[in-house]
Structures are given as structure tokens and as C-alpha cells.
Amino acid sequence: MQGTLVRELVRFEAHAGAHRPALRCGISVGVPMLVLLALGRLDLLGAATFGAFAAIYGRNLTVPARTGVQAVTGLGLVASVAVGLLAAHLPASPWLALLALVGVAVAGTIGGEVVGWKPGGPLFFVFAAGAFAGAPPLGLAASLQVVSVAAGSAGFAVLVGSAGALLPGHVRRRAPLVAVPLREAVRREIVLEVLLTCAVTAPLAVLLGVEHLYWALVAAVVPLSVPGSRARVTRGVMRIGGTLGGLAVAAVLLALHLPGWAIVVTAVVLQTGAELLVMRNYAIALLLITPLALVVGTTMHPADTATLLTDRLVATVVGVLVALAVLGLRGRARARRAGYPEG
């Protein structure tokens, strides 16, 4: 097992045309950001990024199948942003806001099972909701601006993803948008696993004083995004190790105090690079994903760099370890029910 884990950590998968989805993601993120830069609204870069996450989905599909998946995930991302904005106004903070995020995680998991989107799981939806749920509440006008920017960015990502149909030699392959019925998706084991993992992670992160609580939930659902016990352990280890390396990159970038135009350029480069690498080696991709999240995040909510980096690391370790512990306990329970010895 140990030798296999080490091989998985250092293995690079085939390129498999990764430059195409990476280019789509770079355009989907870059153009809305450039518009906001021209308007002097760097505070809305986060909203644009969350909407542009729609470009991540359906990377290996062709139009019109990709258009359908990205439209659904785009709507889900915008809805997640709206839930986060509303959750920021809930009393009994942070418990009711955390409950809302757990709801987003469960809904995103069920949606992923129904549609069969890739990458699987609710990670980006929890990320989008959590970024606003844990922030100071915004007024109606400011909230409408955030939702509008997220929706516009998501819509643009869908258009970019659909543009491939205009290329010569494009092969249209239709695919059903519903992979499994809703009733079956709700009963799947992954839904209970996500619910249990988030339900344990949330209060533990509060007790440990994690400031960005949603980071712990995001980390918790990462190992659950892939099937198989070995793959899940590998993904969890990659998340911790890659985050640790990514924090070193983030520390350098944050120390530069980049001006607005440099933040946009950096975000586009990091997003494009991450998409080039994420399917080849997840840990290496995190060297770009982690600083991307922190650099863009500071445009929304400036914070002390040392505190920010520490919080990210603690939240990541907590979320991953809880996920692996829950999976291990459930695996033992299944083994007992099947009559296998635990040893």
C-alpha cells in the first residue's frame, strides 16, 4: 500500500489534450476579470472566478453535451453564491451558516450524481457558497452585483465552452443530461459520506479556531470526489502535501503586494496552469490552485498573510483527516456487516 501510494503521488498521467480545457478556462476567467479591472471593481474578482468555475466541468465532453453540463453547473455555482450571501445574514453565527454550507455540499453531491458531472462532488459549490457565508454580510445592492457578476461570468464560460462547435472537424456527440434518477442519487452511499464528513468537520473546525471554516469543508469533500479507498487516501495525502507547497508559492505572491492588473494576470496564469496539471497530478496542480484561491481571496477580504497561510493549512489538514477517518470507520462497519475480520 505504501509503495503504491508513493507511486501515485509522483505519477504523471498522459497530457490527453489538456491544453484545450485549460485554454477555455483561461479565457473564461480572464475576460471577466479584465472587464472588472477596467471598471475598477477588483472587489468582484471573486464573484467572477466562482462563475467561471463552470468552465472546469465537462472538459472531456463535446458540444452539445458540454454545454448542458456547464449550464447546469453554472446555475449551481450562481445559486451557491446566492446561498452564501444569504447565509452571511443568519443569526447564531457560525452554526446556521455552516448548516447552510453542509446543505450545499449535500445538494452538490446529489446534483453531481444525477448529472454525472466531472470533476465529481460538491467542492466548487461549497467553495463558492463558503466564501460569502463567512464574510461580512452585504446589502441588497451589493449582493445583486455579486450575483450578477457570477451569473455573467458563468454564462460567458458556457459560451466559451460551446465555441468548439465552430471548429472544423468538430464531432457532435449528444449525451443524456440525467445520468441517474434523482431518487436513486439520493440513496447513494456518497451522499451519506459527504453529510457525515461535513457534519463532523464543521464543529471540529470551530473548536480548533479555524477562521475560514469553509476551507475545512472544502478539504473534507476532496477525498470523496474520487471512487475507491486507495484513490481517496491518495487524494487526501495529495491535498495536504500540495497545499503545503502551494502555500509557499502563495507566500511569495502575497509578499509582492501585486497591483490590480498583476493580480488578474497572475490569476489567469494560475488557473490555466492548474487545468493543464490537475488531471495529470493533483498535488502538483495544487501548487497553483492554492495561491490562486488566496491571491483572489485577498481582493475580497484582505487579511494578514501569516494568519491566512496558517489558517489554510490547519483547515486543510482538519478536513482531510476527518474525511479519511469517516471513510475508514465506514469501511470497517461494512466489513463487519459482510462478516470479514477487522484485522
d(CA 15, CA 23) in angstroms, rounded, equals 14
Confidence tier at 332 by pLDDT (50, 70, 90): confident
Closest CA to 178 of 112, 106, 104: 112
For residue 173, what are the β-bridge partners? 64
Q: Which of the pair, 9 or 52, is modelled with greater confidence?
A: 52
Gap between the Cα atoms of 273 and 267, Å rounded: 10
Cα gap 325→311, rounded to integer Å: 21
Per-residue pLDDT at 35: 97
Determine the Cα–Cα distance for residues 105 and 126; give it in Å rounded to an integer.
Answer: 6
Residue 54: the pLDDT is 97
The pLDDT assigned to 202 comes to 96
* Count of all residues that appear for the chain in the document: 343
Across 41-50, 64-73, 164-173, least confident range: 164-173
Residue 342 φ/ψ, nearest 5 degrees: -75, -25
pLDDT of residue 343: 46
Of 104, 113, 109, give the one whose Cα is nearest residue 50.
104
Residue 306's CB is within 10 A of a number of other CB atoms, namely 10
pLDDT of 199 over the 90 cut = yes
> What whole-number distance in Å separates Cα of residue 142 and Cα of residue 137?
10
Tens of pLDDT, residues 119-177: 999 999 999 999 999 899 999 999 999 999 999 999 999 999 998 766 655 556 667 78
Q: Is the pLDDT assigned to residue 315 strictly greater than 50?
A: yes
Q: Is 135 helix (H, G, I), strand (E, B) or coil?
A: coil
**CB contact at 8 A, 179 and 91:** no
Q: Hey, how many other C-beta atoms are within 10 angstroms of the C-beta on 192?
A: 15
Peptide linkage before 94 cis (omega within 30 of 0): yes
Q: Judge whether residue 341 has pLDDT over 70.
A: no
Q: What SS3 string covers 134-191?
A: CCCCCCHHHHHHHHHHHHHHHHHHHHHHHHHHHCCCCCCECCCCCCCCHHHHHCCHHH
Q: How far apart are the first and last CA of the chain?
A: 15
Cell of 117: 458531472
Q: What is the pLDDT of residues 222-233, one digit of tens each?
A: 999 998 888 899
**Could you read off the pLDDT of 281-313 as tens digits, one per residue?**
999 999 999 999 999 999 988 889 999 999 999
Query: pLDDT-derived band of residue 31, with 50, 70 and 90 as boundaries?
Result: very high
Give the pLDDT mean for 313-324. 97
Q: Which pLDDT score, from 0 to 100, does residue 7 have?
A: 73
Consecutive H or E run containing 321: helix 305-338
User: Cα(144)–Cα(158) distance, rounded to whole angstroms?
Assistant: 21
Give me the pLDDT at residue 173, please: 65
Higher pLDDT, 61 or 294: 294
pLDDT category, 2, cuts 50, 70, 90? low
Percent of the chain with pLDDT over 90: 76
Burial (CB count <10 Å: 0-12, 13-18, 19+), residue 149: buried
How far is residue 61's CA from residue 70's CA, in Å, rounded to a whole number?
10
Q: How many CA atoms lie within 13 A of 332 on its CB side?
A: 7
Q: What is the pLDDT of residue 312?
A: 97
Number of other CB atoms surrounding residue 211 within 10 Å: 15
Name residue 115's amino acid. V
Collapsing DSSP states into helix, strand and coil, what is residue 64?
strand
3-12: average pLDDT: 71
Average confidence (pLDDT) over 88-109: 94
